[in-house]
Chain A
Amino acid sequence: NAGVMQNPRHLVRRRGQEARLRCSPMKGHSHVYWYRQLPEEGLKFMVYLQKENIIDESGMPKERFSAEFPKEGPSILRIQQVVRGDSAAYFCASSPRVTLNTEAFFGQGTRLTVV
Chain B
Amino acid sequence: AQKVTQAQTEISVVEKEDVTLDCVYETRDTTYYLFWYKQPPSGELVFLIRRNSFDEQNEISGRYSWNFQKSTSSFNFTITASQVVDSAVYFCALSESSNSGYALNFGKGTSLLVTP
List residues of chain A with CB under 8 Å of any chain B CB: 31, 33, 35, 41-45, 48, 55-56, 58, 89, 91, 93, 95, 98-106, 108-109, 111
Contacts and interface: CB of A to CB of B under 8 A. Distances in A.
Contact of B101 (A42, A48, A91, A108): A48
Nearest to B39: A37
B108 to A, nearest CB: 4
A54 B18 CA distance: 44
Contacts of A108: 43-44
Between A33, A43, A99, A109, the greatest number of chain B beta carbons within 10 A of the residue's beta carbon is seen for: A43
The secondary-structure label for the interface of chain A is: strand
Contacts of A104: 102, 104
Given A103-B47, A109-B44, A111-B43, A48 B106 contact: no
A82 B46 CA distance: 29
B64 interface: no
Contacts of B45: 43, 91, 106, 109
Contact of B108 (A31, A42, A48, A109): A42
A95 B31 CA distance: 19
Interface string B27-47: 000011100010000011101
Given A100-B31, A106-B44, A42 B106 contact: yes
Nearest to A111: B43
Interface string B72-97: 00000000000000000001010111
Contacts of A91: 45
A102 B31 CA distance: 13
Contact of B106 (A44, A58, A102): A44
B88 to A, nearest CB: 14
B102 A45 contact: no
Given A41-B109, A95-B101, A106-B37, 16 more contacts: A31-B101, A33-B101, A33-B103, A35-B104, A45-B99, A45-B103, A45-B104, A56-B103, A99-B102, A100-B31, A100-B95, A102-B102, A104-B102, A106-B45, A108-B43, A111-B43
A109 B39 CA distance: 11
